[in-house]
Amino acid sequence: MALEKSLILLKPDAVQRRLCGEIITRLENKGLKLIAMKMLQVTKELAAQHYEEHVEKPFYPMLEEFITSGPVVAIVVEGPEAVSVVRGMMGKTNGRESAPGTIRGDFGLSRQVNLIHGSDGPEAALREIGIYFQAEEVLSYKSSLDEWVC
Ligand code: RTP
Ligand code: MG
């Protein structure tokens, strides 16, 4: 089973609502391994780099305002098929359409203010990890749980 990395952002609403611990606990309980984590303020430049596919879209000004509105937590997780596993745990973009049991389905009602970002493919993940982290900030370590969760 191929290990993948995924870049996760706990968006400004997750920080403001004190939901970071809850969301990180879900990721850890699933068996995903945290291999990098930091808190930061996203700038307009960083937002445009991250969401480059959306910069020309009509909703981008609102997305920029939201994602730069307060601190975020950037995380890299690793695990088997981590990208699709995380996307499943997040739920749909719109919290109102997300299934109960998903992060957005359990905690949100908004299409935009939706708690969490997760990379949408393994290549996107590598690009996004490079935007938020220096290579030496992404760690590699063995855990005694590895053989039990993979
Ligand atoms: P993300 O990239 O943040 O993980 O979210 P996603 O894949 O589920 O959704 P995506 O289509 O990539 O959109 C990126 C973020 O832009 C905001 N958004 N607002 N019509 C709207 O008002 C609208 N559409 C998207 C959301 O914050 C979404 O997560
Ligand atoms: Mg997306």
* Span 18-63, pLDDT tens digits: 999 999 999 999 999 999 999 999 999 999 999 999 999 999 999 9
Of the CATH numbers 3.30.70.141, 3.40.47.10, 3.20.20.150, 3.90.78.10, which one belongs to the domain with range 3-136? 3.30.70.141
The CA distance from 13 to 144, in Å, is 34
Question: Ligand 1: does its nearest atom lie under 6 Å from the Cβ of 114?
Answer: yes
Q: What is the mean pLDDT of residues 5-11?
A: 98
Question: Ligand 1: does its nearest atom lie under 6 Å from the Cβ of 87?
Answer: no
The domain segmentation of the chain, as residue ranges, is 3-136
The whole-model pTM stands at: 0.97
Could you confirm whether 117 is annotated as catalytic? yes
Which among 134, 131, 150 is positioned nearest to 142, based on CA atoms? 150
Q: Considering only the C-alpha atoms of the chain, give the largest distance between any 2 of them, rounded to a whole number of Å.
A: 47
Return the percentage of the chain with pLDDT > 70, whole number: 100
Q: How confident is the prediction for the chain on average, in pLDDT?
A: 97
CA of 39 to the centre of ligand 1 (A): 21
pLDDT recorded at residue 149 = 84
Tell me whether 0.85 is exceeded by the ipTM: yes
Question: Ligand 1: does its nearest atom lie under 6 Å from the Cβ of 59?
Answer: yes
